[in-house]
Structure 1
């Protein structure tokens, strides 16, 4: 069963697509050159730049590496780079997270 794409996700897909195209152009690369540099098919670059969903995380990371921005993205996702992550960095992360019971659950 396929779920509809939330509007915030659609908007982010479009923003990431525009940013990837801008990075490629700033680097002076064609889609074919970026594909070759990234080890993906040119159609993958085209789909990313159109904001199509369904591109694997691995292929996205390959393209980010090909653009020379992979480290910036992985650093941005590092929880210790956020205020919350730094505040809670001394806490032991649980191995599993169970859903919290809502009041009124029987």
Structure 2
């Protein structure tokens, strides 16, 4: 039996869906145009815009690409774009070994 989706995940999915809708409208695109650009059905786009957390991850990324947001999402999740990520990466990554010759 599947576990219920956590409330913070549901809230985030709803907020992202609202933001996708807003971006689509700001860009002057119809739902049909975005769905076509993303290579998904209008129904799948509707589910994304309504915050359905069960939508395929590739579909969400495809819509993001169709709206010109994909690079921003990739950057937003890059640990090297944060102070913590850069600091921890310096600690966690193995140092290069120099050979004397």
Matching residue of 2:93: 92
Distance 1:32 1:51 in 2: 18
Listed as ranges, the matches of 1:8-87 within 5 Å are 8-87=8-87
CA RMSD of aligned residues (A): 1.2
**How many Å apart are 1:72 and its aligned residue?**
0.3
Could you say which structure has the higher helix fraction? 2
TM-score by structure 1 length? Answer: 0.83
Q: Which runs of 5+ in 2 are unaligned?
A: 95-101
Structure 1 residue ranges (4+ consecutive) displaced by more than 3 angstroms after TM superposition:
none
- Count of residues in Structure 1 that have an aligned counterpart in Structure 2: 93
TM-score by structure 2 length? Answer: 0.87
**How many Å apart are 1:84 and its aligned residue?**
1.2
